[in-house]
Amino acid sequence: MKKLSAQMEQLEKALLRLKEVLVMPQSDVVRDSAIQRFEFTMDLSWKTVKTYLEEMKGLICASPKECFREAYRQGIVLYDDEWIKLVDLRNETVHTYNEEIAEKIYNELPATVRYFKELVEKMK
């Protein structure tokens, strides 16, 4: 439980940091910072879900998509397909960088906050 508690705390901080940057006036630096903070939040989300499933449900998952699919089956997340899209979005931020893609991703980030917030509330 100690690991889960620590991860939850980190996830909540990461979400606050993501929300913080998303209300700043847009610039290249703010955009890039927001994308980086989204990456951190997404990584912490799936790893926290993994720990939650292990510690609270006795279930093992190995990848982000597998963990979110199981979280959906367990009623922890409401939208299986949306979480899979978030994993894909996160993968896109890591493997590709150009201005056009960065702008596209940045514009999608405000909508992601809701999913992260719901996830935190469900696991508390």
Q: Domain coordinates of the chain in residue numbers?
A: 2-123
Return the amino acid letter for 43.
D
pLDDT of residue 78: 87
pLDDT bucket at 96, cuts 50 / 70 / 90? low
As a residue count, the chain comes to 124
Helix, strand, coil percentages, rounded to 5, for the chain = 80, 0, 20
Q: Is the pLDDT of residue 93 over 80?
A: yes
Distances (CA, A) of 37 to 66, 80, 87: 23, 22, 14
In the structure encoding, which two tokens stand for residue 12, read together? 């909540």
Burial state string for 45-79 with b = 16 or more CB within 10 A and e = fewer than 16: bbbbbbbbbeeeeeeebeebbebbbbbbeeebbee
Tens-place pLDDT, residues 45-73: 999 999 999 999 999 999 999 999 999 99
Q: Is the pLDDT of residue 94 over 90?
A: no
Q: What is the CATH code of the structural domain delimited by 2-123?
A: 1.20.120.330
Tens-place pLDDT, residues 12-52: 999 999 999 999 999 999 999 999 999 999 999 999 999 99
Q: Please report, rounded to a whole number, the percentage of residues in the chain having pLDDT higher than 70.
A: 98
